[in-house]
Structure 1
């Protein structure tokens, strides 16, 4: 959703998903029972996450009502930084469940053996195509989203210029000096967009494509927040900052955020999505090895793919549910873009090539 955001579009617009850290608290005794009422069991379950995790208070209270466990959220930076912290504390984790590792970084988490396998209840309702660890159940898919180029509708309307639709369009002369992207070495959407270009042009063709983008004036910044809120002319933040880039790598769900946090809310989103530039991102959660509250962690994983939490996500984290019977809110469906054919790259291919692709990309585009 960044994860961002990464997916934390709403954070910058309304300050609702701030980066404050809630320390894991609760009893330190090991979880010796099947629930919080068992002798010695903790009544707190700690969720370690990237900064973009958000859920309604009512939904978290319902989890407590159903299970007896209280959720504490420990936010640990962006998706890559949060994962790095868990790797450094492997075996003695900061919490019980980790949320926010996506398919671009999944192999790092699995190769470092961070998770205790657990088959979450209700997994049979989760779409097969997002179950990238099916059979082993080291991680549980929780949400999906599409990393795509967003455009400033007013900018293109004022110039009577059609916005780009595809990867190829972005390299055309009429869009020179218009695109800002995030650094693939430091940003989740930046890496996702790089992988999208690999999916579109193949392992032998993506570098030639990026040479064209560089010649066409693509601008690279460190992360999503800078790109979207400081460089992109179509965002609420961009308008205040007098940004001059009408194209930005963000998410298919960014337009509903612009509507939700506008006052008054417009009838139409001020931004659009180039649906031929998208890469499908899937986020996972897992029970951390060495978790003090394993029973609470398992209950939380069950809840994360339950209907209540899944239907709460779209207007909190601006991501798509993974269970097939979840209903989407009208604002999300009205203003969000449906991506019928996003680019994908097989998880094992990403695992084998990610580091080299990022090095090559950095040498080609940044230096």
Structure 2
């Protein structure tokens, strides 16, 4: 059966094809990362409940592959089947890694006319993927910065500050091979010092006793345990701290060079998905005003849509800090280079 009905969604009328719901008979399979579905009040749990309430005949099944998107790269290399429909949590470097590794596309090019709210995404480099095949819609973005304890250290203002003896033994960072913020911080140093100079800078960081841990969870847990007074994290850290009545003095934000490294997250439909209609319905729902507000607060990031399409309370605006300047290396700059940069860094820095 097919047809259309008009429904009211956060104040907007939208034509919804009945067949989108009825043809699924039950489930949309979505791969993501652990913090999207685990922990206190995660965004993924809210998205599942809200979407299933809107579409009672549909069930969302989240899955968290241990190796992230690499799990599906490996399955594609082995000509194994892909057992999910959507990937939720792609970064620009994920796309580059896919394209530098595979001959065939892992994700389908977007059919934007099937996502009515796609034009809500803000026109801002902080949410752009620069994908030549237009496979990804952003759903949020964050800025990599430093979070520090103002009772222990003064906020650094530059990369050079971090290699000054005054900051010896203060910084916690993440492994760029395994961690999104760790990789973004590495790329930020490449933007600052160039492909020919970033390893020299990292050698200075090592000499100044930077501590590199595996994941963001590892590094932030060490920070919470007061093992070091500064950690690579996100400029929205105070949103989380305020939400749980934490110590704001240990949630201060430092923007090196008055910059933050933009790290947009996006969603894409796997090539060959048999649930593409429902996948597009879900993507459209994610860009709704209600969903964008919930994702921003629960995932502690900035919305992907323009301000007029999302209503965030004054507390969020007070504690979510945007850098004076947003920077990021784009798809073209990373393509053909990302793997080598990370391998060289891992060999010379992370292995020490």
**TM-score normalised over the length of structure 2:** 0.82
CA distance 1:200–1:327, shift in 2 (3 Å): farther
Q: In the alignment, which of 266, 271, 282 is matched to residue 284 of structure 1?
A: 266
Q: In the alignment, which of 42, 65, 68 is matched to residue 82 of structure 1?
A: 68
**Are the counterparts in 2 of residues 252 and 338 from structure 1 also a CA contact under 8 Å?**
yes
**TM-score normalised over the length of structure 1:** 0.78
Structure 1 stretches of 4+ moved >4 Å: 56-59
Aligned-residue offset at 1:60: 3.7
Aligned-residue offset at 1:134: 6.2
Q: Distance in 2 between matches of 1:50 and 1:106?
A: 16
**Are the counterparts in 1 of residues 151 and 250 from structure 2 also a CA contact under 8 Å?**
yes
Q: Distance in 2 between matches of 1:256 and 1:58?
A: 18
**Are the counterparts in 2 of residues 59 and 308 from structure 1 also a CA contact under 8 Å?**
no
Structure 1: state its 5+ residue gaps. 1-32, 157-161
Aligned to 1:193: 185
Aligned to 2:6: none
Q: Distance in 1 between matches of 2:122 and 2:99?
A: 21
Aligned-residue offset at 1:56: 6.8
Aligned length: 313
Q: Does 1:345 align with 2:315?
A: no
CA distance 1:312–1:292, shift in 2 (3 Å): same
Q: What's the secondary structure of 1:115's corresponding residue?
A: coil
Aligned to 1:153: 150
Aligned-residue offset at 1:269: 5.1
**Are the counterparts in 1 of residues 130 and 330 from structure 2 also a CA contact under 8 Å?**
no
Q: Distance in 2 between matches of 1:135 and 1:362?
A: 29
**Are the counterparts in 2 of residues 107 and 351 from structure 1 also a CA contact under 8 Å?**
yes
Q: In the alignment, which of 34, 37, 42 is matched to residue 22 of structure 2?
A: 37
CA distance 1:295–1:60, shift in 2 (3 Å): same
Aligned to 1:259: 242
Aligned-residue offset at 1:278: 2.9
**Are the counterparts in 2 of residues 193 and 278 from structure 1 also a CA contact under 8 Å?**
no
The CA deviation string for residues 43-78 of structure 1, in whole angstroms up to 9 with x for no partner, is 22121111122327565444234444332211224x
Q: In the alignment, which of 117, 120, 123 is matched to residue 122 of structure 1?
A: 117
Aligned to 1:7: none
Aligned to 2:252: 272
Q: What's the secondary structure of 1:315's corresponding residue?
A: helix
Q: What's the secondary structure of 1:73's corresponding residue?
A: strand
The CA deviation string for residues 67-110 of structure 1, in whole angstroms up to 9 with x for no partner, is 44332211224xxx210112233472221111111012221234
Q: Distance in 2 between matches of 1:56 and 1:187?
A: 20
**Are the counterparts in 2 of residues 56 and 312 from structure 1 also a CA contact under 8 Å?**
no
Q: Does 1:323 align with 2:320?
A: no
Q: Distance in 2 between matches of 1:223 and 1:58?
A: 25
Aligned to 1:294: 276
Q: What's the secondary structure of 2:297's corresponding residue?
A: coil
Identify the structure with the greater helix proportion.
2
C-alpha RMSD of matched pairs (Å): 2.2
**Are the counterparts in 2 of residues 143 and 319 from structure 1 also a CA contact under 8 Å?**
yes
Aligned-residue offset at 1:271: 1.4
Aligned to 1:247: 230
**Are the counterparts in 2 of residues 253 and 337 from structure 1 also a CA contact under 8 Å?**
yes
Aligned to 1:71: 60
Q: Distance in 1 between matches of 2:244 and 2:207?
A: 36
**Are the counterparts in 2 of residues 50 and 75 from structure 1 also a CA contact under 8 Å?**
yes
**Are the counterparts in 2 of residues 92 and 291 from structure 1 also a CA contact under 8 Å?**
no
Q: In the alignment, which of 219, 224, 230 is matched to residue 227 of structure 1?
A: 219
CA distance 1:34–1:194, shift in 2 (3 Å): same
Q: In the alignment, which of 87, 93, 102 is matched to residue 82 of structure 2?
A: 93
Q: Distance in 2 between matches of 1:356 and 1:315?
A: 36
CA distance 1:151–1:93, shift in 2 (3 Å): same
Aligned-residue offset at 1:307: 1.6
Q: Does 1:138 align with 2:122?
A: no
Structure 2: state its 5+ residue gaps. 1-17, 37-41
CA distance 1:74–1:37, shift in 2 (3 Å): same
Q: Distance in 2 between matches of 1:71 and 1:281?
A: 26
